[in-house]
């Protein structure tokens, strides 16, 4: 019997973000000229995501356990067996966090 389970919530993960950084260069005529260059910075971000697992019971349980460490890249609908075999394709390392939402 094919079952479906969802694992969802908010999580914290690190991401490489491209940012502009200001620098100065001295020209031949002696003037200091400002310029910007692009650099990669590692930042911690809070996001929300969701896994939709389907498959057989044993695979589902293993996928749910693995999902504790691999945060979903947005909305991910995947067969539990595929996720177990290649979690990096569907998720990124991170940690689930609790964020109270007033509604």
Partner 1 sequence: MYLGSGYGVKLNPNCILGYTDDETVMLDFDDTPFKKVKYWAQVAMKHFELGGFLILKSSENHYHVVFNHRVNWAENMSIVAWVSLQSNNQNMLRYLRMQCIKKSSTLRIGPKGEKPSPRIVYREGNEDTQIKEYLETRKFLKKRSGALVKSL
Binding status of residue 80 toward partner 1 by CB under 8 A: no
Is the separation of the CB atoms in 64 and 9 below 8 Å?
no
Measured from the CB atom, is 3 or 23 closer to partner 1? 3
Minimum CB distance to partner 1, residue 43 (Å): 21
**Encoded tokens for 43:** 């930042």
Binding status of residue 102 toward partner 1 by CB under 8 A: no
| C-alpha dist (Å) from residue 85 to 63, 75, 94 | 10, 19, 18
End-to-end CA distance of the chain: 36
Binding status of residue 8 toward partner 1 by CB under 8 A: yes
Residues within the interface to partner 1 (CB under 8 A): 1, 3-11, 52, 57, 61, 64-69, 95-98, 100
């Amino acid at each position: 019997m094919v079952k479906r389970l969802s694992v969802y919530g908010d999580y914290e993960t690190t991401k490489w973000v491209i940012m502009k950084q200001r620098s100065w260069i001295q020209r031949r005529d002696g003037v200091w000229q400002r310029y910007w260059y692009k650099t990669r910075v590692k930042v911690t971000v809070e996001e929300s995501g969701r896994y939709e697992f389907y498959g057989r019971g044993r695979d589902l349980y293993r996928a749910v356990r693995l999902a504790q460490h691999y945060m979903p890249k947005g909305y991910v609908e995947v067969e539990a067996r595929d996720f177990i075999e290649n979690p990096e394709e569907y998720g990124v390392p991170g940690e689930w966090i609790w964020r109270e939402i007033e509604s």
